[in-house]
């Protein structure tokens, strides 16, 4: 019997989880679910307990991606089952060397697949494409559709390309919010299959290419317009120009921890005569930033933080490349998305 | 030169911090500050860096007590300086045995002292005392005033008693939000010196004694009235009676982690035919509880969570002794504060 969990349009195979836990000899199992699946925590935990005899501890923390490992829970369990995201290699793991990357080997990533039919939206998007050579990118929950997407595009006269990303990416054509390596291919424009604003916007900013979105959730197609976000980024950069007291935020989430980027930002600021304090936090929230009271922040974590939450921050919040622009170390016309690349 | 940091009515000796770090040979130092001192993070970090040559990383997480150790930061640093609270021995440290209590030995607790004069409020409180043998209790920032408080009480004809607490408590007469062992002494009533509602309320609930408050922040005295809180607790207990799907929350904060209490709650619930899922989270917030969607929660962390935040939780949230009442394992007239006792 293949045990598949279905929630709305999401499908997860639980058999491989049970099999893996049984083989591992684990006694205590952690379970992390993305927000949309958290309400199934009781059912999944009880399924695992009944089929393995293990004790299951559910993570009550929000989980925003493969980078977002509940480290406190990982410390308690023999295996941590992380549902909904594909395996991610952490980069720049820690300042100190107290623990090792092997810690992450106890994390079992269980992908979730969307059951949505993406082809109607792709058909609409095809009408917006201008070139013939189209790079096709998507997020993990739709990667299994890329063969069908390419077949459809070919039948419509296009030459689709699905490129492999770097070591941080599991699947061909897959992009992360911080990694658009699979979008850098020999094409005239990009087709993004999926929902939300950040991934297609990120692809456009990272590659400078025209990006068409096929959104299966809204069953619509659109062309990405980066003009508003670019203006917002320059506004944040200009507001930071005269600030003296900077907080440099390193995220404690395992897959977003870039101590070397943070230490470099501190060094650049001090060389430029500004005050810089190194800060570590988990979720980066306006409440926590306000409590610390610095005039400006450089966030060395997920690039989404500075960019997606622009409107909510009362103080300027920059990414590391934007800090370089403030300090005159990068040309002002060279705005770059702060990607986290390589394994 | 004795370097003392003063913020409002709070005083911290920084010399001992510098001395300790120098002796420890640390290269990377973490710094945790309570909310009221967070804005001094940049100054204190820079003072430590200049006087020790270490790299300092500031915790951006909220810090509510000695129990609230930023474990992700502790992993990164050689010494974690935790300001404002007295040393606490963690209890029931972990389910698993992957790490040891020795981990906590790298935490340097630096107490903060209030410079407020407590005696005017104590003089007002003395007028409300009914007995002669008065047990005197307070929180860590006022413990250094207890000699003067007792001298004043004696001059007014009282016999003050300052009792030692159990191993979780550092100073005679000191109470924690989860530990009123120092309030259990041979007295007729209690005098609490300090601000806020929870500590004196907790002392009254824990001991059943009359508690008079001398509040130096408001410069006022009052008698604790537990009637409203007792009604609220019974309301939560009764609302939980017919619930089926329980989440049992174990806090990941090192000093609040009571896995055995949590595992016992899960076992009791299942024996009683209810569904129970074990959950771990850091700060326990309404957003996280709602996201998980259980009908009722048992919180095995700080007793303040269930009690102080009663009004904000839409679902019943119980402490472990209250769960026992729901399941018929404790008499309904035996409402107990959920203390965390012993070292």
- pLDDT tens for each residue of B282-294: 999 999 999 999 9
CB B189 within 8 A of CB B78: no
State residue A81's pLDDT score: 96
State residue B146's pLDDT score: 98
Q: Which candidate, B82, B134, B138, B125, places its Cα nearest to that of B105?
A: B82
Q: How confident is the model at residue B101 (pLDDT cuts 50, 70, 90)?
A: low
Residues of A in contact with B72 (CB under 8 A): 71-72, 252, 280, 282
Q: Note the CATH number of domain B119-223.
A: 3.40.50.11850
Please determine, for residue B32, whether its predicted confidence score (pLDDT) is greater than 90: yes
Q: Tell if the CB–CB gap between A282 and B61 is shorter than 8 Å.
A: yes
Q: Tell if the CB–CB gap between A277 and B95 is shorter than 8 Å.
A: no
Residues of A in contact with B46 (CB under 8 A): 275, 277
Dmax (CA) for chain B in angstroms is 65
Q: Tell if the CB–CB gap between B275 and A42 is shorter than 8 Å.
A: yes
Q: Note the CATH number of domain A232-326.
A: 3.40.50.11860
Residues of A in contact with B245 (CB under 8 A): 42
Of A58, A61, A288, the CB nearest to B282: A61
What φ, ψ does residue A29 adopt, rounded to 5°? -120, 130
Q: Is B137 left (phi over 0), alpha (psi -120 to 50) or beta?
A: beta
In percent, the amount of chain B with pLDDT more than 70 equals 94
State residue B98's pLDDT score: 41
State residue B24's pLDDT score: 92
Residues of A in contact with B30 (CB under 8 A): 280
Residue A169 distance to chain B (closest CA, Å): 25
State residue A2's pLDDT score: 57
Q: Is A157 left (phi over 0), alpha (psi -120 to 50) or beta?
A: left
Q: Tell if the CB–CB gap between B278 and A77 is shorter than 8 Å.
A: no
Q: How confident is the model at residue B91 (pLDDT cuts 50, 70, 90)?
A: low
Same fold, A119-223 and A232-326: yes
Q: Tell if the CB–CB gap between A76 and B96 is shorter than 8 Å.
A: yes
In percent, the amount of chain A with pLDDT more than 90 equals 70
CB B160 within 8 A of CB B151: no
Lowest-pLDDT range, A100-104, B1-5, B39-43, B291-295?
A: A100-104
Reported as type and span, the H/E element at residue B57 is: strand B55-59
User: Residue A10 and residue A245: Cα distance in Å, rounded?
Assistant: 45
Mean pLDDT of A271-289: 95
Q: What is the DSSP letter of B103?
A: G
Residue B282 distance to chain A (closest CA, Å): 7
Q: Which pLDDT tens digit goes with each residue over B56-87?
A: 999 999 998 888 888 889 888 999 999 988 88
State residue A250's pLDDT score: 93
Tokens of B268: 């009791």
Q: Which residue of A has its CA nearest to B49?
A: A277
State residue A97's pLDDT score: 41
State residue A343's pLDDT score: 45
Mean pLDDT of A26-40: 93
Q: What is the mean pLDDT of chain B?
A: 91
User: Residue B166 and residue A114: Cα distance in Å, rounded?
Assistant: 55
Residue in the structure block whose two tokens are 């060397």: A97
Of A41, A73, A289, the CB nearest to B277: A41
Q: How confident is the model at residue A69 (pLDDT cuts 50, 70, 90)?
A: confident
Residue A110 distance to chain B (closest CA, Å): 19
Higher pLDDT, A3 or A69: A69
The helix, strand and coil proportions of chain B, stated in percent and rounded to the nearest 5, come to 40, 20, 40
Q: How confident is the model at residue B97 (pLDDT cuts 50, 70, 90)?
A: very low
Sign of CA dihedral A12, A14, A16, A20: positive
Q: What is the DSSP letter of A27?
A: S
State residue B23's pLDDT score: 94
Q: Tell if the CB–CB gap between A278 and B41 is shorter than 8 Å.
A: no
ipTM of model: 0.89
Q: What is the mean pLDDT of chain A?
A: 91
State residue A92's pLDDT score: 55
Residues across chain B:
343
Of A62, A252, A278, the CB nearest to B72: A252
Q: Tell if the CB–CB gap between B263 and A55 is shorter than 8 Å.
A: yes
Residues of A in contact with B284 (CB under 8 A): 60
**Architecture label for domain B4-114:** 3-Layer(aba) Sandwich (3.40)
Q: Which residue of B has its CA nearest to A280?
A: B59
Q: Which candidate, A273, A286, A284, A282, places its Cα nearest to that of A246?
A: A273
Three-state DSSP class for A333? Answer: coil
Q: Tell if the CB–CB gap between B41 and A71 is shorter than 8 Å.
A: no
CA B71, distance to chain mean position in Å, is: 18
End-to-end C-alpha distance for chain A, whole angstroms = 36
Of A45, A75, A95, the CB nearest to B28: A95
State residue B76's pLDDT score: 87
State residue A23's pLDDT score: 93
- The domain spans of chain B are 4-114, 119-223, 227-326
Q: Which pLDDT tens digit goes with each residue over B107-130?
A: 999 999 999 999 999 999 999 999
Q: Which pLDDT tens digit goes with each residue over A97-133?
A: 444 455 678 899 999 999 999 999 999 999 999 999 9
Q: Tell if the CB–CB gap between A38 and B291 is shorter than 8 Å.
A: yes
Q: Tell if the CB–CB gap between A62 and B291 is shorter than 8 Å.
A: yes
State residue A109's pLDDT score: 92
Report how far apart, in Å, the C-alpha atoms of B334 and of each of A284, B123, B135 are: 43, 35, 24
Hey, what CATH class is B227-326 in?
Answer: alpha beta
Q: Pick the most confident of A83-87, A125-129, A249-253, B14-18.
A: A125-129
Please determine, for residue A226, whether its predicted confidence score (pLDDT) is greater than 80: yes
Mean pLDDT of A241-248: 98
Lowest-pLDDT range, A63-77, B86-100, B276-290?
A: B86-100
Q: How confident is the model at residue A307 (pLDDT cuts 50, 70, 90)?
A: confident
Report how far apart, in Å, the C-alpha atoms of B112 and of each of A174, B79, B109 are: 51, 18, 10
End-to-end C-alpha distance for chain B, whole angstroms = 36
Q: Which pLDDT tens digit goes with each residue over B172-231?
A: 999 998 899 999 999 999 999 999 988 999 999 999 999 999 999 999 999 999 999 999
Of B61, B94, B292, the CB nearest to A41: B292
Q: Tell if the CB–CB gap between A292 and B77 is shorter than 8 Å.
A: no
Of A46, A55, A280, the CB nearest to B60: A280
Interface test with A, best of B277, B285, B293 (most A CBs within 10 A): B277
Mean pLDDT of A223-249: 95
Residues of A in contact with B247 (CB under 8 A): 42, 58, 60
Q: Tell if the CB–CB gap between B41 and A77 is shorter than 8 Å.
A: no
CB B175 within 8 A of CB B183: yes
Mean pLDDT of B132-140: 97
Q: Which pLDDT tens digit goes with each residue over A191-209?
A: 999 999 889 999 999 999 9
User: Residue B335 and residue B230: Cα distance in Å, rounded?
Assistant: 8
């Amino acid at each position: 019997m293949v045990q598949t969990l279905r929630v709305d349009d999401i499908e997860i195979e639980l058999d491989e989880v049970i099999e893996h836990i049984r083989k591992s000899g684990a006694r205590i199992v952690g379970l992390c679910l993305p927000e949309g699946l958290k309400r199934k925590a009781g059912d999944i935990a009880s399924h695992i307990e009944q089929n393995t005899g293990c004790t299951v501890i559910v993570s009550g923390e929000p989980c925003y991606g493969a980078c977002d490992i509940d480290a406190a829970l990982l410390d308690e369990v023999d295996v941590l089952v992380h549902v909904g995201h594909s395996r991610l290699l952490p980069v720049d793991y820690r300042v100190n060397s107290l623990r090792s990357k092997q810690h992450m080997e106890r994390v079992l990533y269980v992908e979730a697949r969307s059951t949505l039919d993406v082809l109607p939206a792709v058909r609409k998007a095809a009408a917006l494409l201008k070139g013939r050579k189209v790079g096709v990118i998507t997020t993990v929950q739709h990667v299994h559709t890329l063969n069908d997407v390419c077949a459809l595009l070919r039948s419509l006269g296009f030459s689709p390309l699905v490129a492999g990303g770097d070591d941080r990416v599991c699947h061909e054509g897959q992009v992360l919010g911080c990694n658009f390596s699979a979008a850098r291919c020999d094409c005239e424009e990009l087709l993004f299959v999926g929902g939300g604003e950040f991934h297609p916007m990120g692809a456009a900013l990272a590659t400078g290419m025209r990006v068409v979105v096929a959104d299966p959730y809204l069953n619509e197609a659109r062309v990405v317009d980066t003009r508003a976000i670019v203006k917002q980024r320059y506004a944040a950069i200009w507001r930071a120009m005269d600030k003296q007291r900077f907080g440099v935020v390193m995220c404690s989430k395992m897959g977003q921890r870039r101590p070397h980027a943070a230490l470099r930002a501190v060094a650049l600021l001090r060389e430029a005569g500004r005050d810089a304090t190194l800060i570590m936090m988990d979720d980066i929230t306006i409440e926590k930033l306000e409590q610390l009271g610095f005039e400006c922040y450089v966030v060395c974590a997920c690039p989404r933080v500075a960019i997606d939450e622009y409107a909510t921050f009362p103080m300027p919040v920059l990414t590391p490349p934007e800090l370089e622009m403030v300090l005159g170390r990068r040309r002002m016309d060279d705005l770059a998305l702060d990607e986290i690349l390589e394994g």
